[in-house]
Amino acid sequence: MTQTIAAQATTIATFKSLKCKECGAEYEPKATHVCEFCFGPLEVAYDYDALRRTVTRETIQAGPNSIWRYRPFLPVATNNPIDVGTGMTPLVRANRLARRLGLKKLYIKNDAVNMPTLSFKDRVVSVALTRARELGFSTVSCASTGNLANSTAAIAAHAGLDCCVFIPADLEAGKVLGTLIYGPTVMAVQGNYDQVNRLCCEVANTHGWGFVNINLRPYYSEGSKTLGYEVIEQLGWELPDRIVAPLASGSLFTKIYKGFREFIEVGLVEEKHVRFSGAQAEGCSPIAQAFREERDFIKPVKPSTIAKSIAIGNPADGVYALEIARKTGGNIESVNDAEIVEGIKLLAETEGIFTETAGGTTVAVLKKLVEAGKIDPEETTVVYITGNGLKTQEAVQGYIGEPLTIEPKLESFERALERAQTLDRLEWQQVLV
């Protein structure tokens, strides 16, 4: 009995401090995210020597079937994290999509089926709320483009934390409903995400709440590293040659990179050169524009695209994402709304995966890069699908045909079937000419 209590009381934290990404100043791991000296962003620093000594492939494989199998690489001090089954989503060998595009070895990392709210945001929120609880917050919050609000509300409900989330007022119905159902306070702000975020920064200063992507951002963002770890483990402890991922703030992109580097650093995977390709929607592509114009700074833009979940006009980690794309020999590309819809349909028709607009953006960028000869067909390529299409149904409405309405009679069915087959043949003839 006493032993159990003692074990629980022992801190098992493997992280030491928060460190400024710009000047290296160190801070105690509290709820803070900006350097007091240079205003650079803070990032969690770990004791990698200790991790190298204590973590092996076997200790990871013996862990839970969720992101928490990588707990020593995550910034929480409890051995009892909030585990709602987040992570360990399928890595699917996408042969039909690969053949369509002319690639040899293509994989989809499918976070469209992540738990509990069907987007990659469940990863970052599981980590942020576990840390929020450790730091003593009773109310959690976020500035969201939709998916983050879904995750924060759901996981807060599970953990018994009070929750108030902020979203732009014009979000898709599925995203709004998928937040309200968990019973948080929802503030629909009449403005775009960047305005929502600015408001939330002020609220964070005055209300003492834990904002997962503001004052808890250093912890939150570490959750995305698990998208890197899982791919390594699911490829049989190997790195791919290339990844393609969507960019909103750029955080996810930079943290997949950090995850890969960490596993190399502690000897869990052999070093390999991985190229990083990023995807943005043309209607909100400040990072792709900077890449194209060879700038090392981001010019903020006003978003206008159907890909609302990645519509951040002033991306916090934009410059770091640029740096990674450049130094790995990757690229950052954008596609328009019509291409995004085509991307959603292409993935659905070839692989049976229904993704949201962010995933449509990523698939369309993959296609564009292959067609431009910027991806070698021999490369092992992993494409990150980060959200579920059921949440953004508006985007494809009117582009996917209609069901055939028939009478409950055999002859009505036969007539409709014949019409459908004729239409199919005509479509094929059009493709062939």
Q: Any residues with CB less than 8 A from the CB of 64 and at least 6 apart, and which?
A: 83
Distances (CA, A) of 107 to 97, 98, 362: 9, 9, 13
Classify strands 105-110 and 91-93 as parallel, antiparallel or unpaired.
Answer: antiparallel
Q: What's the full length of the chain, in residues?
A: 433
Q: State in angstroms the smallest separation of the CB of 128 from ligand PLP.
A: 12
Per CB under 6 A, the segment of 30-38, 81-89, 198-206, 249-257 that binds ligand PLP is 249-257
Residue 416 tokens, joined: 């409709």
Per CB under 6 A, the segment of 199-207, 250-258, 260-268, 424-432 that binds ligand PLP is 250-258
Q: Does 387 bind ligand PLP (CB under 6 A)?
A: yes
Residues 95-134 within binding reach of ligand PLP (CB under 6 A): 119, 121
Q: State in angstroms the smallest separation of the CB of 345 from ligand PLP.
A: 17
Q: State in angstroms the smallest separation of the CB of 227 from ligand PLP.
A: 10
Per CB under 6 A, the segment of 73-81, 102-110, 246-254, 369-377 that binds ligand PLP is 246-254
Instruction: Pick the closer one to ligand PLP by CB: 66 or 119.
Output: 119
* Coil vs helix vs strand at 381: strand
Q: First vs last Cα of the chain: how many Å apart?
A: 78
Q: Does 310 bind ligand PLP (CB under 6 A)?
A: yes
Closest CA to 378 of 74, 104, 101, 179: 104
- Phi, psi dihedral angles at 243 (to 5 degrees): -125, 150
Residues 133-162 within binding reach of ligand PLP (CB under 6 A): 145, 147
The binder of ligand PLP chosen from 88, 247, 274, 340 (CB under 6 A)? 247
Q: Give all strands (DSSP E) within 267-330, no chain letters.
A: 275-281
Distances (CA, A) of 328 to 163, 230, 254: 39, 20, 12
Q: Does 246 bind ligand PLP (CB under 6 A)?
A: yes
* Spatial distance between the Cα atoms of 305 and 284, rounded to a whole number of angstroms: 7
Instruction: Pick the closer one to ligand PLP by CB: 215 or 249.
Output: 249
Q: State in angstroms the smallest separation of the CB of 208 from ligand PLP.
A: 25
The binder of ligand PLP chosen from 143, 154, 252, 274 (CB under 6 A)? 252
* Residues at the site binding ligand PLP, with contacts judged by CB under 6 A: 119, 121, 145, 147, 246-253, 309-310, 356, 358, 386-387
